[in-house]
């Protein structure tokens, strides 16, 4: 089974993030979910993003890097929206990465390293009309990341929800979330066989 370091989105370490982590655990994976917000949670994206900006995206990414210290190098890095920042940085720069799961966000690979490391598979999952993913350049970054690489995949689901896997939230899209989880579990199973 895989060992996963999962980073939360801009709402903080919510019950929905915990539910996603628990679904991976039920499949037998070890999942670490650090709290980059140090106990703070938010009910809406605007407030959560404002807090992230106040703390600083660099600081949050550094907190993510610190969370990896003491864990094995052979990790799968996963991020939900804002959590993609530390997940993608670690997958690209920390030795031993087994893979990456980027949900609702993707950063240009040049932000962290000249290129994505060879042999590190990645899945990017988002909704095809998510205004943040499509409008903020994440879709283009994801398409560039997966172009021409057999071990990198982009999955787009119909809809406009940003946090579509956030169980219990108004943005939750059950069909897309179930399809995403099934693909994520297949990805993780493929890394451990």
pLDDT at residue 25 tops 80? yes
Q: Please report, rounded to a whole number, the percentage of residues in the chain having pLDDT higher than 70.
A: 99
Give which of 135, 150, 65 is closest to 104, Cα–Cα.
Answer: 135
What is the average pLDDT across 38-65? 96
The per-residue pLDDT for 23 is: 97
Task: Report CA torsion sign: 184, 98, 148, 8.
Answer: positive
**How is residue 32 written in tokens?**
């670490």
Q: Both tokens of residue 163?
A: 């946090």
For the chain, domains (ranges, CATH) are 3-191 (3.40.50.1820)
Q: What is the pLDDT of residues 158-193, one digit of tens each?
A: 999 999 999 988 899 999 999 999 999 999 999 965
pLDDT at 151: 95
The reported pTM is 0.96
pLDDT for the residue 83: 98
Residue whose entry in the numeric block shows the structure tokens 């219990």: 168
Contact 11, 81 (CB under 8 A): no
What are the Cα distances from residue 97, in Å, to 5, 39, 59, 137, 174? 11, 28, 22, 25, 30
| pLDDT tens track for 76-123 | 999 999 999 999 999 999 999 999 999 999 999 999 988 899 999 999
- pLDDT higher than 80, residue 58: yes
Query: How does DSSP classify residue 116?
Result: P
Q: Distance between CA 181 and CA 58 in Å, rounded?
A: 29
Q: Would the pLDDT of 49 be above 90? A: yes
Token digits of residue 162 = 């940003």
Task: State yes or no: pLDDT of 30 exceeds 60.
Answer: yes
pLDDT, position 168: 87
Mean pLDDT score of the chain: 96
Burial label, 46 (beta-carbon count in 10 A; 0-12, 13-18, 19+)? exposed
Q: What percent of the chain has pLDDT over 90?
A: 93
Strand order in the sheet with 122-127: 30-32, 3-7, 76-80, 99-103, 122-127, 152-157
pLDDT at 149: 86
Q: What is the DSSP letter of 82?
A: G
Model pLDDT, residue 126:
98
């Amino acid at each position: 089974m895989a060992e996963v370091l999962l980073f939360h989105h801009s709402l903080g370490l919510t019950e929905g993030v915990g539910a996603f982590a628990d679904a991976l655990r039920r499949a037998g994976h070890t999942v670490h979910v650090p709290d980059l917000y140090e106990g703070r949670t938010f009910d809406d994206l605007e407030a959560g993003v404002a807090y992230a900006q106040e703390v600083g995206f660099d600081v949050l990414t550094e907190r993510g890097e610190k969370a990896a210290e003491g864990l094995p190098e052979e990790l799968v890095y996963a991020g939900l929206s804002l959590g993609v920042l530390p997940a993608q940085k670690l997958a690209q720069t920390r030795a031993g990465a087994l893979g990456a799961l980027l949900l609702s966000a993707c950063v240009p690979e040049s932000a962290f390293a000249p290129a994505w490391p060879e042999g590190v598979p990645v899945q990017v999952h988002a909704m095809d009309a998510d205004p943040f993913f499509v409008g903020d350049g994440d879709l283009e970054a994801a398409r560039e990341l997966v172009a021409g690489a057999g071990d990198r995949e982009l999955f787009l689901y119909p809809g406009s929800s940003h946090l579509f896997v956030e169980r219990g939230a108004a943005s939750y899209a059950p069909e897309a979330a179930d399809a995403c989880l099934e693909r994520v579990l297949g990805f993780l199973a493929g890394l451990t066989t």
